[in-house]
Structure 1
């Protein structure tokens, strides 16, 4: 008796690599670090994320309508949502709502859609939006709340801001009664370290002068970095990203900082400080790995990541901005096509000499 057989055409892989599923995986990986940020820096983090997402989706829909294209497919791939979340995680939790709107609209409309939408943008939209705000409003963009650590709050005679306090601060610029902006705002550990080093202080003097410092970096900031690292490892496990770029970014940053620390440990911080005091881990796993604006060849990704790590250290040490992740990523976005051009793998069956002649 004949047996009925079903023939299925290739490909046979069960893995579905759709844009919306990849973006949802990234959103899920951001959860641990986001919770840590909310724990240490308050409800303003979540308010910024909600505002940035709302404005990003509206801007994306408006541009698609102006281009005469359906808005739902563009919104439904969640790329605008991921851009908004990454952007919101890099700005201070007290950022006025209209600055958040300006930054994310610039990222979506100018950096992403002006070049043709997803897959065509040469720069990372979230980092371009952040740099736009940083250059335009440097004070507001670098003024963070002190982390919710008892020793720090007691030293500044502060208490944790409630959800309503955070909302009033963001939407109306109204501070809680009895507080001033100088009391609420605080420099980041990178900014504090850079300022005091420029004043001629040594590392030991700086670390002993304030309860801001933890084991490696700033208190609170260390835990935020650890939880973003957990999310990054999840992306590696799910194969959403490959290991080359994040390992190269962190390796390049550690190598550059370790070389100078070994020469002069009193004027160059311990390498772990650079990993756990700013956005290095967030940048390595979630920002530098953007598949559109990063390199595509394996050897190119290693060069690209190492260059980002080295550039972060150089700008932090001698440049004008303490946390240089955004600038380093954007600079390497420019170089990514050239790096790919000169790091192409050898084609199977062709000798190197034949490839050069071709």
Structure 2
């Protein structure tokens, strides 16, 4: 007797979000090793803020609390906000960023599955536009002890001019635009490692390991990470080969900023991203192109967040134009 094909039972939201949290642990462990325990304090603060903020909005909307608070989606958003923000950001800025993501972007659009924009990236863009100085204060690896870090996060007075530095992308952009020399001379500074900021180069490896875990668990598909990384490598290679003295190598772009975090944890957001196979490739490639253009020619050192939001706007059109044909019909007639 012929049997119908078996359909794999869809994973629950909680199990998917738990897998994402587990996938972030390698990068968090490297973060703690290189920068300090302060990242754990920020993660705890952000998690509490996300859960409390979501609970309050659900209460106002007269919606049940348990399903939304137990699915871990708010926790994932909170962790992504923290990993996108500088680790010595004052506590109120982290709280504000998380509330923007949870309340303004997620809940006010209707809750999980309804937001057209990536919550963590909206929070990042809002904070870097409103507080550019604070969002540019990144400590050097091993430069601050935990007591100093805790004072910067929880204290009232902040004097960070002597202890905070620019990211690799920001230092490169500033050096090139100020006539500070070629790419090679800028990279020879002791603040740089082999490819990016000294010590911070370990973090992309952690995100890569976590991303491979998500791919192996089939939480995400290969389309978006591959399209994003390949397109970013391709466009940066073109400019680098044309003028290596003014444009950094593709390895610099892949190992710096939030590239690996974006490739596996931001671009792959199933709610705000494209859903069709071809659409995923177009969506991720568009983010990579915009990211590079902002990095190389824009006003901000890392354009990932802005690129993601710009491509979020295009998702309905991308999905509409890349729908696969209906079975048994030609592609042109299916549209």
Q: TM-score, normalised by structure 2?
A: 0.96
Which of 253, 264, 270 is 1:285 aligned to? 264
Structure 1 residues 97-106 or 20-29, which shifts more?
97-106
| Partner of residue 82, structure 2 | 88
Cα displacement (A) at 1:166 = 2.0
Note the C-alpha offset of 1:10. 8.6
In the alignment, which residue of structure 2 is the partner of 1:155?
Answer: none
Aligned length: 332
Gaps of 5+ in 2: none
CA contact (8 A) 1:43 1:93 kept: no
After superposition, the C-alpha distances for 1:120-161 in whole angstroms (9 at most, x for unaligned) are 00001111111111111011011100122xxxxxxxxxx431
- Residue 223 of structure 1 pairs with residue 217 of structure 2: no
Maintained 8 Å contact 1:87/1:126: yes
- Give the counterpart of 1:73 among 67, 71, 74: 67
| Corresponding residue for residue 144 of structure 2 | 160
Q: Corresponding residue for 2:283?
A: 304
Alpha-carbon displacement from aligned partner over 1:37-67 (angstroms, at most 9, x marks no partner): 1222222211111111111100000000001
Aligned to 1:193: 172
Contact 2:91 2:153 in 1 (8 A): yes
Q: What RMSD in Å do the two structures reach over aligned CA positions?
A: 1.6
Between structure 1 and structure 2, the one with the greater Rg is: 1
For residues 131 and 248 of structure 1, the distance between their equivalents in structure 2, rounded to whole angstroms, comes to 23
Spell out the pairing of 1:21-60 with structure 2 (5 A cutoff).
21-60=15-54
Q: Distance in 1 between matches of 2:148 and 2:59?
A: 37
2:114 aligned residue (114, 120, 135): 120
Q: Alpha-carbon deviation of 1:354? A: 2.6
**C-alpha separation between the residues in 1 aligned to 2:300 and 2:103?**
26
Which stretch shows the higher mean deviation, 117-126 or 11-20?
11-20
Q: Are 1:318 and 2:302 matched, yes or no?
A: no
CA distance in 1, matches of 2:193, 2:299: 24
Q: Gaps spanning 5+ residues in structure 1: where? A: 1-8, 149-158
Q: Which residue of 1 aligns with 2:155?
A: 172
Q: Deviations over 1:234-286 (max 9, x none)?
A: 00000000000010111111111000001000000011000111101100100
Equivalents in 1 of 2:137, 2:160: separation in Å? Answer: 10
Q: Which residue of 1 aligns with 2:138?
A: 144
Q: 1:76 & 1:70 partners in 2: Cα distance? A: 11
Q: Which residue is equivalent to 1:237?
A: 216
2:95 to 67, 77, 101: 101
How big is the shift at 1:207?
Answer: 1.7
Could you say which residue in structure 1 is the equivalent of 2:185? 205
Shift of 1:14: 6.0
Pairing of 1:8-23 with structure 2 (within 5 A): 15-23=9-17
In 2: Cα distance, 1:352 partner to 1:185 partner: 56
Q: Counterpart in 1 of 2:129? A: 135
